[in-house]
Amino acid sequence: MPKLKVKNLENQDVGEIELSDAVFGAEVKYHLLHEIVRMQQCRKRSGTACTKERNAIAGGGQKPYRQKGTGRARQGTRTAPNHVGGGRVFGPRPRSYDFSPPRKVRNGAMRGALSLFVNENRLIVVEDFELPEVKTRGLAQVLAKLDTNKAVIVDSKENEKLKKSARNLASYRFLPPEGLNVYDLLKHDQLVITKQAVLDVQARLEQAGRGRRTVQ
């Protein structure tokens, strides 16, 4: 089982935590990571692109010119696609790009992403993340002590001081344990997570592995 040092906000070792092999020691399957990232990006697409076909173009009730005798090809309406300003053929229509891979794929990708961070020493476990006040500069100083540059910060959603302090840091993203996802993990270089939060994530993924809950 992977064992990680538990640090305080001064970057001092204050203990050790033993993590589950099933969650943090899983095989990293990169094709699953790609599939889930693609799913999350597709879900962000609005799918509202729309163009007018010839039946939606105003006008066109009269022939552009007479049928015969002009030497040109016959035309029935100026709303036809071959005219400037006419309707478009096979243009985009409003649609949903959403798709959902199987549950085992979603769970396997999340385990793989966490295992990748453990294998590359990019996961930092802290005892807690209690800040004295809501202050972005104070949080930036703490993160500098933890030797982080671009990271996802995970703690309980009830930690309002941390949540509000992190929202103005462009290179960092605060997430509650239940909001941790593959896309945000791979978009950042490190994962800073509290001891309680890592246990919550581990419990959720173990339950998902038994078919009780799905993690995306």
Encoded amino acid at 114, one letter = L
pLDDT in the model for residue 1: 77
Q: Who contacts 95 (Cβ-Cβ below 8 Å, separation ≥6)?
A: 47
Distance between CA atoms of residues 140 and 136, nearest Å: 6
* Mean pLDDT of all residues in 190-216: 82
Instruction: Report residue 149 as tokens.
Output: 């540059």
**Taken in order 46, 37, 183, 111, is the CA torsion positive or negative?**
positive
pLDDT in the model for residue 61: 86
pLDDT in the model for residue 216: 53
Q: φ, ψ for residue 153 (rounded to 5)?
A: -110, 125
Predicted confidence (pLDDT) at residue 215 exceeds the cutoff of 70: no
Nearest alpha-carbon partner for 18 in 6, 42, 34, 1: 1
Q: Tens of pLDDT along 160-173?
A: 999 999 999 999 99
Distance between CA atoms of residues 199 and 193, nearest Å: 10
Contact at 8 Å (CB) between 6 and 17?
yes
Domains of the chain and CATH, by start: 3-44+100-209 (3.40.1370.10), 51-91 (no CATH)
Q: Tens of pLDDT along 33-73?
A: 999 999 999 999 999 999 999 999 998 888 999 999 999 99
Q: Who contacts 131 (Cβ-Cβ below 8 Å, separation ≥6)?
A: 138, 139, 142, 161, 162, 165
- pLDDT category, 118, cuts 50, 70, 90? very high
**Taken in order 148, 153, 158, 163, is the CA torsion positive or negative?**
positive
User: How buried is 74 (Cβ within 10 angstroms: 0-12 exposed, 13-18 middle, 19+ buried)?
Assistant: exposed
* Mean pLDDT of all residues in 126-142: 95
- pLDDT category, 13, cuts 50, 70, 90? very high
Share of the chain above pLDDT 90, in %: 92
